[in-house]
A = this chain, B = another copy of it.
Amino acid sequence: MTKHDNSGRYRETGLKLLSRHSISVGDSIKITTEDGEITGLLMPRYESASEEYIVIKLKSGYNTGIHVGKIKSITKLLDKDEAAVSVKTPAITANQNLPKVALISTGGTIASKIDYRTGGVHAAFSADELYASVPELANYASIDPEVLMSEYSENLRPEHWTLIAEKVAEKIKTDKYRGIVVSHGTDTMHYTAAALSFALQNLPVPVVLVGAQRSSDRPSSDAALNLLGATIFATRSEYAGIFVAMHAGTSDDTISCNIGTRVRKNHTSRRDAFESIDRTPIAFVRNNEIEMQQKDQNGLVEIFSDKPFEVKTRFENKVMLLKYYPGFDPTLIEHAINVGYMGIVLEGTGLGHVGKECFPALKKAVDAGLMVCMTSQCIWGRIRMTVYDTGRDLLDIGVIPLSDMISETATVKAMWALANSEDVEAAKKIMQENLANEISDIIPISL
């Protein structure tokens, strides 16, 4: 994940202190501060962290950062090779009577682990390693982990959604699991959550996507709490469906569980980056207790639904998401027609508008048989294309209004609808129906 050198990326005062004591990354060390004594393994400094901190991995598996200015003494206890032997903690095993959870790893920050010896990254990921890094997991579930792929989520494409959906369906069909957890890079986790929401319908169990904004080797990592929260939700949720479980706020005790079609990564780096849009989360896991919200609301499928589980994992790649802006070039729409696209999702302004200079190209697209849908770049709120002339003109052209569907979900749904319909007209109909809480009825704006 991060480039490094032999200094473990320590610099300036931190590097000087370590060099003076001939300490290098992986060594077992003891640090004395005015608050007491800490023993652990020296970890590489995280690239974006302050240079003033020394990071050590504690016996508990957690990392902690100690400010250089607070260090009274630092001593090497064991060289890194000896330390590597001593760190092999006895294996923790979960009680087999606990609910069973399948954990499917797809890559991303949560699955990555910086090797304290080489500084390299490895995604090895056994049940033993999981329990060793998050020991509380063994109290809540018996986990069957499987590495499906190891990709940064920005590299995932619709064909990966198909693979993930098929793997989740395979696990569900064994009838062994109370829930499924999918670990995933955060960059596009909400797109994958939407994809699974359409590909897997009438789920008999909860499927929970989880990631980490900061890798598990950083003192401020959210990986452990997110994974624990996702697992607790997977074993106790009263609803089946696709969810995203991530930090709910800046405090380190609450996980929010969001509906898979209504969640968005709204911050580049904060641990509570994921937010439900125009909804509240369906549950919180606070201090390891689940708090279900909105019981009987939102039309969520009850767990153990008697409708048959449906698996439709194909996605049509020829769908283009285009965000409108002043000066937007209508030749982008013509390009979509020319290269054989089947659908366009517009991220318009306000209530669902694009400038009138786009009208001829949009008409051409609709006439050429493309499905053209409208969402809003505002993110929150619903579009209403009957309020102003612009919206009505677009409706007349044949643009499909998508109410309060967020644009990322709309793009994914368009890919799914076009791949799983007899023709474009049928896909247009699907786009306007609610399948997985992605769209809600139009509620008139009150006076």
Chain A residues close to B by CB (< 8 Å): 1-3, 46-50, 53, 65, 152-158, 160-161, 186-188, 191-192, 218-220, 265-270, 273, 315, 317, 319-329, 331-332, 335, 339, 347-357, 376, 378-384, 386-390, 392, 408, 411-412, 415, 444-447
Contact = CB atoms under 8 A, between A and B. Distances in A.
Q: Which 3 A-B pairs have the closest CB atoms?
A: A268-B381, A187-B349, A154-B353
A154 B350 contact: yes
B326 A188 contact: yes
B445 A269 contact: yes
- Residue from A158, A273, A349 with most neighbouring chain B CB atoms (10 Å): A349
A349 B188 contact: yes
A275 to B, nearest CB: 10
A376 B268 CA distance: 7
Contacts of A266: 378-380
A403 B260 CA distance: 29
B3 A355 contact: no
A361 to B, nearest CB: 13
Given A268-B352, A269-B381, 15 more contacts: A1-B389, A48-B387, A49-B446, A154-B349, A158-B326, A220-B447, A266-B378, A267-B379, A267-B381, A268-B351, A268-B382, A268-B384, A319-B327, A320-B329, A326-B412
Contact of A265 (B161, B327, B378): B378
A354 B188 CA distance: 10
B323 A347 contact: yes
Contact of A48 (B269, B315, B349, B444): B444
A381 B323 contact: no
A191 B325 CA distance: 8
A227 to B, nearest CB: 19
